[in-house]
């Protein structure tokens, strides 16, 4: 979606024009016909509400829209403004119009608030119709340009920061949306590499031979049933003080998960192309952070494998040795994400000695039972880090709910023949998964695990996304960096 900034007024414009309306404050300056039609349709300016009308200007009929921006004094004002911008895009995305103008000249916004409107409008415009060759004309996206008129001073500069964030979210959505025959470990790397290098990220890739030499038996055990070679993608940003240890973001990147020998049911298995949503979020967050030149040192790690059930696949009951030297009895080959993460976490600690680690993974179905599709679960060994991430989630909209950890849960993954087993009982499944990962975090290192299984993909449209890939995870990581790691 192209964003253009233009001056107001727009009397000569024939493309649709949208105006923001604060809840219960319909401006009296509106065209009387528009005002009356809005009242008749019970439009009040609630967040996300939209009213469309038509007026005659200089002999031409012009489409007008009123976008509700909610309570002007609400604490979540930025989120409401995003939803207002998104509502405009949602209305016109397949309308036949190629351009829509959002007029902010009388909206009374700050530059930061105006940028939020633009961000919502752009994010809601993302679609991936690459493989749809017979889409009906009235369903095809027509909108290509959003013009922002009358924006307050400083909006274009504020937008440059948010545009980098949008770039990251859109990359994550693209990676998560692509099918597994297109995005697999090697192609994931090659899809991300040029974009990462373009924004100044240092890119490093470990192949399966290098990982084998390092002793990554847990990660490679997952990959051994696939013809697709595993990869470890490293994205490094050094925008902070020289010599300062980085914060590490680690993502589970299972590009397709059949469950391995513990194979999943056929129904719904196609969804497992998005089991790399954690790695996708890390890649997108690194693009956003580098794109806006964040004053922080961050390293992103994507552990990339495909979990397939061929004759070389690991079996339930196999014992593998992780890079840390700890041994794992593989009870269920469908509990593979934690096997990927544990070696990634060991490696990043040895290589970078990070000040904190945040991992993201579409890890367990159990987290959906607990939290549904409303927020992701967060598990942490550090109250400060957990609080910072939860706060960042509340601001960004990528919400998190803290879940427990403890010795009683930890003992549930003890194995009679190895240091641990990769699953516990059915009860508390997301908790025992987090306990497993925690066993690989060095003592004294702040760590948080985000189980995003219910958030990476949506079966219905949201405020700022079409149904499908949401881009979840990028915004909470970026906000965490803004709030806690920069200047």
Positions marked catalytic: 264, 338
The CA distance from 382 to 405, in Å, is 11
Query: Cα–Cα–Cα angle for 327, 339, 211, nearest 5°?
Result: 85
CA dihedral angle for residue 419, residue 422, residue 428, residue 433, rounded to 10 degrees? 100
The CA distance from 296 to 486, in Å, is 6
Looking at residue 307, the DSSP 8-state letter turns out to be E
Q: Are 234 and 313 in contact (CB under 8 A)?
A: no
Query: Which residues contact residue 443 at a Cβ distance below 8 angstroms, ignoring those fewer than 6 apart?
Result: none
Looking at residue 246, the DSSP 8-state letter turns out to be P
Closest CA to 430 of 362, 381, 479: 362
Closest CA to 397 of 48, 93, 110, 159: 48
Distances (CA, A) of 274 to 123, 252, 279: 19, 11, 10
Query: Cα–Cα–Cα angle for 45, 461, 362, nearest 5°?
Result: 130
The radius of gyration of the chain's CA atoms, rounded to the nearest angstrom, is 24
The CA distance from 32 to 22, in Å, is 18
Query: Cα–Cα–Cα angle for 272, 167, 156, nearest 5°?
Result: 155
The CA distance from 434 to 423, in Å, is 10
Please list the residues that pair with 380 across neighbouring strands: 448
Helices (H), 353-428: 366-371, 383-396, 407-410
Q: Is the dihedral of CA 218, 368, 373, 481 positive or negative?
A: negative
Looking at residue 468, the DSSP 8-state letter turns out to be E
């Amino acid at each position: 979606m192209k964003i253009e900034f233009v001056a107001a007024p727009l009397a000569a414009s024939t493309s649709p024009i949208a105006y923001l309306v604060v809840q219960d404050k319909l401006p009296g300056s509106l065209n009387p016909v528009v005002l009356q039609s809005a009242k008749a349709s019970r439009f009040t300016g609630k967040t996300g509400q939209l009213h469309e009308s038509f007026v005659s200007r200089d002999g031409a009929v012009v489409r007008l829209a009123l976008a509700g921006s909610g309570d002007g004094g609400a604490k979540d004002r930025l989120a409401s403004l995003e939803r207002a911008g998104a509502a405009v895009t949602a209305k016109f995305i397949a309308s036949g119009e190629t351009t829509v103008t959002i007029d902010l000249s009388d909206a009374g916004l700050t530059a930061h608030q105006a940028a939020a409107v633009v961000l919502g409008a752009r994010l809601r415009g993302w679609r991936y119709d690459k493989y749809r060759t017979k889409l009906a004309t009235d369903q095809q996206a027509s909108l290509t340009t959003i013009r922002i008129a009358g924006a307050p001073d400083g909006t274009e500069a504020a937008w440059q920061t948010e545009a980098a964030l949008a770039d990251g979210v859109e990359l994550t959505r693209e990676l998560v949306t692509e099918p597994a025959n297109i995005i697999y470990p090697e192609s994931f790397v090659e899809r991300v590499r040029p974009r990462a290098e373009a924004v100044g990220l240092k890119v490093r890739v470990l192949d399966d031979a290098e990982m084998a030499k390092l002793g990554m038996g847990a990660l490679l055990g997952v990959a051994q049933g696939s013809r697709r070679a595993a990869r470890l993608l490293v994205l490094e940003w050094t925008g902070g003080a020289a010599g300062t240890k980085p914060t590490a973001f680690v993502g589970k990147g299972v590009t397709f998960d059949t469950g391995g020998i513990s194979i999943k049911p056929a129904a719904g298995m196609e969804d497992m192309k998005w089991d790399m949503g954690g790695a996708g979020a890390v890649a997108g967050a690194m693009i956003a952070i580098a794109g806006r030149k964040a004053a922080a040192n961050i390293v992103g790690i994507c552990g990339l494998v495909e979990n397939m059930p061929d004759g070389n696949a690991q079996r339930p009951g196999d014992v593998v040795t992780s890079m840390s030297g700890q041994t794992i009895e593989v009870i269920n080959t469908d509990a593979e994400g934690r096997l990927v993460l544990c070696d990634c976490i060991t490696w990043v600690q040895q290589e970078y000695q990070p000040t904190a680690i945040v991992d993201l993974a579409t890890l367990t179905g159990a987290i959906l039972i607990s939290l549904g599709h409303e927020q992701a679960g967060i598990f942490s060994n550090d109250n400060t880090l957990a609080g910072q991430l939860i706060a960042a989630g509340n601001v960004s909209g990528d919400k998190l709910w803290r879940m427990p950890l403890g010795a009683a849960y930890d003992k549930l993954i003890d194995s009679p023949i190895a240091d641990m087993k990769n699953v516990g009982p059915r009860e508390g499944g997301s908790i025992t998964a987090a306990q497993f990962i925690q066993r690989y975090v060095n003592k004294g290192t702040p760590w948080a695990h985000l189980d995003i299984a219910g958030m990476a993909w949506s079966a219905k449209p949201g405020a700022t996304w079409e149904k499908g890939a949401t881009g979840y995870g990028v915004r909470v990581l970026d906000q965490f960096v803004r709030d806690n790691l920069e200047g």
